[in-house]
Amino acid sequence: MEVSLFQCLSKGSLSQLGESYNAAKKQFLSLERKFERDHEYRDLYRDFVNEYRRLGHMTKVSNPSASQFSFYLPHHGVLKLSSSTTKLRTVFNASAKTTSGCSLNDVLMVGPTIQCELISILLRFRKFQYVLAADIEKMYRMVWIDPSQRCLLRILWRDSPDEDIEVYELNTVTYGTSSAAFLAIRCLYQLGIEFEEVSPLVANIIKNHFYVDDVLTGGDTIEDTLSLANELCKVLKGGGFLLRKWVSNEPSILKEIESADNNGVVDIGCMENNKTLGMRWNGEGDHFFFSIGNQSSSKVTKRIVLSEISQIFDPLGLLSCCVILVKIFLRDLWLEKLDWDDALSQQLYTRYLQIRNDLRFLNNLKIDRKVICKNAKLVELHVFSDASSYALGSCVYIRTIDNHGNIFVKLLCAKSKVAPLKIQTVPRLELMAAVLAARLCEKVRQSMEIEFNSITFWTDSTIVLGWINTSPHLLQVFVANRVNSIQELTNIENWRHVRTQDNPADCVSRGMKPQELLEFEMYWSGPDWLRESIESWPEPLVVSRSNELPELKRVVVANTSTLDSEFIDLSRFSNLTRLERVIAYCIRFINNCRRKEDERLSSSLSCDEISHASLVLARLSQRQSFSEDLVTLSKQGQVSNKSKLIKLHPFLDENGLIRVGGRLNNSDYVYEKKHPIVLCSKHVFTRLLFAREHKRLLHAGPQLLLAVIRENYWPIAGRSLARKVFHQCVICFRNCPKEISPVMGDLPKRRVTPSPPFYVTGVDYAGPFLIKDRQGRGCRTSKAYIAVFVCFATRALHLELVSALTTEAFLATLKRFVGRRGKPAQMYSDNGTNFQGAYNELSKLANFLQNNANSIVEAIENKGISWSFIPASSPHFGGLWESGVRTVKYHLKRVAGNALLTFEDLSTLLIEIEAVLNSRPMSPLSCDPSDLTPLTPSHFLIGRPMESVPDRDYTAVPTNRLSHFQRIQQMKGHFWTRWSLEYISELQKRQKWTTQQGVLEANDLVLVKEDHLPPLQWLLGRIVEIHPGKDGVARVATIRIKQGTIRRSFTKICPLPKCIGSSNS
């Protein structure tokens, strides 16, 4: 037997729980006082607790205070002496509030519903020939809780008031907690999942035929049903669940189950009176029945009415004819707006007494469980719907035909619904009933797991049939929405008409007293003709789709004529030549329609046709852009004084085009040049015209482009459009690309935080420089480089002469630097290959030190040097050391000139330059002679300027006369104070890149700038990711090119323009 461990589903922090021990103790002491008064109650309670301890379902806690969070469950018992198995049921109250006002159930999740609805299980239960019903013994207590969370399920108990109160933890799922039902059901459901391949039939029963711990299933033969029961028991027993209280409609099946499980595990219940999921089912007679108790109350209130009526539990709606009368009464009761304990009015009281007396007749009702005949060869579904001014109703029947041609019709389920308070027309109510029928049928079809041979819907409303056969877009909104739902759920060809007197749903919509329902055969078996052959059914009604149907939309038709109607969407075109040809073909089609067949044109377009199309486009552009000026010109011959065309003195030509009047009438130019066509620069036609001319002129500049355009057209604001087309042309842009510059970033924390000199260091190379191997004639020359180390905090420089640009040479230089300046915590550099190699070597060395030489590792404070690289091809990211390199070169060129120095001479010169640069003031000098000596990097290195005279030797002074260490510490503190006051404030200003010049986004097409290649050979790429800095401003992007992905700063990226609907892309 497997043990399933689950954790409670917590939706909040357990720290929300307060102290709960005292409340649980108070409840337990009250329980003990009840034990003194009722000894039978006490004995049952003790038996229950002893069983819990015997089965290991609760464990004594030796140290209750060890758990960080805990919850003590108050508990009490509820007696049910009529129960055949459990006469006392203990209730654990997980909703009891702690001192924080929060209970255990407040922090636990309920969990989703994973089992089928109750109506689905009962519908399937009615289709089997032989059925089984059972429940799982102690289902919740078969699922164990994870030990780490059992502290949330503590109770208090002692066998005698003379003993100390002890703390116990419940080890299993505990009813009363919010997540109990889901945890137990989920464990059961998991069994179904695990056995899907081994035993699909049993897995389907576990997942779809269980409602909590009750199972309702069956088969079509005794052998299949018995085999199913045995296999189900085996699978559940393997998961720790035991089935008991077996009930069946076939005694032989019960005998076999009893003989198969004769070890006392299976408890066969009494077959005469078994309650099946709230409905009573007699296994021997295989029928459902209801038991309505007699109620006697001196004062009838709303609370009492609701309590008594709630006894009628009818998930299948078999009593819908009677229940609808109760629903209508409840609606009228609620309209009175009485309080819960107010007495009913005399009228309502009289109605309710009549209803209550009539409900007793339901005790005489017996309904067959089985609805499908044996050896059925044809299974049909018939759904009836009807409505009245009071309610809506629908009922579903199963019609089966056996091998001998016998026809059986049984009521499967029904549903009723009170009509809305808002008054509706009867056809609308009938339509709502049809929707109710369609949804109920869909529920049955999904639940029964049967392939029906046919499904037929019946209604007595011809208007509803007309609506169902009408397209929803022709109907009013209320009707259209419901017709759309019906057409989605059903096939409209399956809807038929039935007379009202043959519609069993009529009694559901109007209601019927229980004593009348007992004798009303049509409700239980459908109309008589349904039990006959199809030839006896009502003739199909021919549904007319006439305009006389109610709720049809009114259709309003209005014919309007406008001069500027758009017969084509110009924004869909990106090429003017193609647009002109499309317009030319449209014009040819119109002309061909007016000509005789032998006069129609079918050849290629001529130049005149394309020119005419261009004029048509220009006219369309003017009608959309200068509509008011066109009207004014046609009526008055001139534009108004407020028009933006007033300076051009425009006029209308014979084609209705606005042309420039101008002042060139006396010139010898052609007509088109003297009087060009006026265009708006914002129109699509104008932009496409500029784009085409720009390409035709071999990507001419804005000045030439505008000059050529003005030979035939006069674009308003044409100079601006010419520049825009030029700058947005990709080809022109690639010949003269422009990068963007983001705003200068904030200084890194390392630059503005006090730290020892060279604790954070930047390094770069300068050179090469030619050196000679010795003095005199016949010397050989070689290349040398300068390694420049810069301190981030003090800007102090350290210069080293390097003989080669290799990783080994740099490592040797780094060793010399560390030997004199100390090991830095972090180093920054560009992406030089020598630096990358050094980084790799240092990483290997650090791993070696950490893993193989513990004695060396303990002797150093930092395990290796953290190395950071700036983005590739972005020297401005390393401006600190780039500035140092420039300054070193400045002094070196002025001192050495073109002279060839030896390695020793150049090293000496570099050290002297280092001393000079480290003596530079870090802040602006003051003209006041009384001010302090300017602060320099050398103050942080040796405590004084490099070029100053050495201080007096104090080694002979006794220690008690001079606190040397304190003096040194005071000097260092003084230098850092001046650093904070004088130097840091000078770093506030942004010397350049003060504004954001552009924004780059992911997926933008860009050119990657290469310093040694012409722009047309720069790589084309697409931005994959933007990397914003700590200030939220992005300065680096990852770009995907054809070779892979690279990372570049924005100063090396030129975004391509977003083109204006042209072929520039």
The residue-averaged pLDDT of 887-903 equals 78
Residue 804: both structure tokens together: 């080669």
Residue 1038's DSSP bridge partners are 1025, 1047
Provide the pLDDT for residue 410. Answer: 96
If one compares 303 and 599, the residue with the highest pLDDT of the two is 303
Quote the Cα angle for 711-717-720, to 5°.
Answer: 100
**Residues 684 and 571: beta-carbon distance below 8 Å:** yes
**Residues 455 and 445: beta-carbon distance below 8 Å:** yes
Q: Say if residue 968 is exposed, middle or buried (CB neighbours under 10 Å; 0-12, 13-18, 19+).
A: exposed
Residue 137's DSSP bridge partners are none
Report phi then psi at 441, rounded to 5: -65, -40
Provide the pLDDT for residue 845. Answer: 41
CB atoms within 10 A of CB 423: 9
Set out the domains of the chain in order of their start, with CATH numbers. Answer: 4-282 (3.10.10.10), 322-536 (no CATH), 570-727 (no CATH), 772-923+933-941 (3.30.420.10), 992-1065 (2.30.30.30)
959 — pLDDT class (breaks 50, 70, 90): very low
Provide the pLDDT for residue 223. Answer: 93
**Residues 214 and 121: beta-carbon distance below 8 Å:** no
pTM of this structure: 0.54
Q: Say if residue 1030 is exposed, middle or buried (CB neighbours under 10 Å; 0-12, 13-18, 19+).
A: exposed
Provide the pLDDT for residue 445. Answer: 95
Provide the pLDDT for residue 979. Answer: 55
Report phi then psi at 388, rounded to 5: -130, 180
For the residues of 459-493, what is the DSSP string, one character each? ES-HHHHHHHTS-GGGB-HHHHHHHHHHHHHS-GG
If one compares 607 and 276, the residue with the highest pLDDT of the two is 607
**Residues 175 and 223: beta-carbon distance below 8 Å:** no
Residue 310: both structure tokens together: 């709630």
**Residues 114 and 184: beta-carbon distance below 8 Å:** no
Cα separation values, 696 from 292, 714, 715, Å: 95, 19, 18
Which of 886, 911, 907, 880 lies closest to 784, judged by CA? 907
Sign of the alpha-carbon torsion through 998, 1000, 1006, 1007: positive
The residue-averaged pLDDT of 710-725 equals 89
Residue 43: both structure tokens together: 């004995």
If one compares 993 and 718, the residue with the highest pLDDT of the two is 718
Residue 169 has pLDDT above 90, yes or no: yes
Residue 368: both structure tokens together: 């067959």
218 — pLDDT class (breaks 50, 70, 90): very high
- Can you tell me the distance from the alpha carbon of 98 to that of 74, in angstroms, rounded to the nearest whole number? 11
Share of the chain above pLDDT 70, in %: 82
CB atoms within 10 A of CB 439: 16
DSSP-derived 3-state class of residue 509: helix
CB atoms within 10 A of CB 952: 7
Provide the pLDDT for residue 278. Answer: 46
- Can you tell me the distance from the alpha carbon of 346 to that of 328, in angstroms, rounded to the nearest whole number? 17
- Can you tell me the distance from the alpha carbon of 694 to that of 718, in angstroms, rounded to the nearest whole number? 13
The residue-averaged pLDDT of 848-856 equals 39
Count of CA atoms in the C-beta half-sphere (13 A) of 521 = 6
Residue 245 has pLDDT above 50, yes or no: yes
Residue 694 has pLDDT above 70, yes or no: yes
Sign of the alpha-carbon torsion through 773, 779, 782, 784: positive
- Can you tell me the distance from the alpha carbon of 1050 to that of 1006, in angstroms, rounded to the nearest whole number? 10
If one compares 986 and 1033, the residue with the highest pLDDT of the two is 1033
Task: Find the distance separating the first CA and the last CA of the chain, reported in whole Å.
Answer: 71
If one compares 213 and 275, the residue with the highest pLDDT of the two is 213
If one compares 376 and 810, the residue with the highest pLDDT of the two is 376
Provide the pLDDT for residue 203. Answer: 94
Render pLDDT for 18-40 as a digit per residue (tens, 0 to 9).
999 999 999 999 999 999 999 99
Round the average pLDDT of the chain to a whole number and report it.
82
Q: Which amino acid is at 1001?
A: E
Render pLDDT for 652-692 as a digit per residue (tens, 0 to 9).
888 889 988 888 888 888 888 889 999 998 899 999 999 99
Q: Among all chains, which residue has been given the structure tokens 């209550």? A: 356
Which of 232, 317, 244 lies closest to 274, judged by CA? 244
- Can you tell me the distance from the alpha carbon of 1006 to that of 1027, in angstroms, rounded to the nearest whole number? 16
Render pLDDT for 285-340 as a digit per residue (tens, 0 to 9).
899 988 887 766 678 899 989 888 888 889 999 999 999 999 999 999 999 999 99
Share of the chain above pLDDT 90, in %: 36
Render pLDDT for 424-468 as a digit per residue (tens, 0 to 9).
999 999 999 999 999 999 999 999 989 999 999 999 999 999 999
Provide the pLDDT for residue 483. Answer: 96
If one compares 856 and 1017, the residue with the highest pLDDT of the two is 1017
Count of CA atoms in the C-beta half-sphere (13 A) of 814 = 24
Residue 667: both structure tokens together: 């010139």
- Can you tell me the distance from the alpha carbon of 1056 to that of 1065, in angstroms, rounded to the nearest whole number? 10
Report phi then psi at 411, rounded to 5: -75, 125
Render pLDDT for 548-578 as a digit per residue (tens, 0 to 9).
788 888 665 554 444 344 567 888 888 889 9
Provide the pLDDT for residue 271. Answer: 38
Provide the pLDDT for residue 96. Answer: 94
Quote the Cα angle for 672-674-678, to 5°.
Answer: 70
6 — pLDDT class (breaks 50, 70, 90): low
Residue 360 has pLDDT above 90, yes or no: no
Q: Among all chains, which residue has been given the structure tokens 């060279």? A: 758
CB atoms within 10 A of CB 739: 16
Residue 670: both structure tokens together: 């052609």
Q: Say if residue 76 is exposed, middle or buried (CB neighbours under 10 Å; 0-12, 13-18, 19+).
A: middle
Render pLDDT for 727-782 as a digit per residue (tens, 0 to 9).
888 888 777 777 666 766 667 777 767 778 888 888 888 878 888 878 777 688 88
- CB within 8 Å of 47: residues ≥ 6 apart: 88
**Residues 787 and 832: beta-carbon distance below 8 Å:** no
Residue 273 has pLDDT above 50, yes or no: no
Render pLDDT for 643-657 as a digit per residue (tens, 0 to 9).
888 888 888 888 889
Residue 765: both structure tokens together: 């190379």
396 — pLDDT class (breaks 50, 70, 90): very high
Report phi then psi at 951, rounded to 5: -70, 165
Provide the pLDDT for residue 924. Answer: 64
CB atoms within 10 A of CB 701: 13
Residue 638: both structure tokens together: 């001139």
Residue 124 has pLDDT above 90, yes or no: yes
Render pLDDT for 69-107 as a digit per residue (tens, 0 to 9).
899 999 999 987 666 667 888 999 999 999 999 999 999
Number of H-type helices and E-type strands within the chain: 32, 35
Q: Among all chains, which residue has been given the structure tokens 């044996």? A: 374
- Can you tell me the distance from the alpha carbon of 444 to that of 641, in angstroms, rounded to the nearest whole number? 78
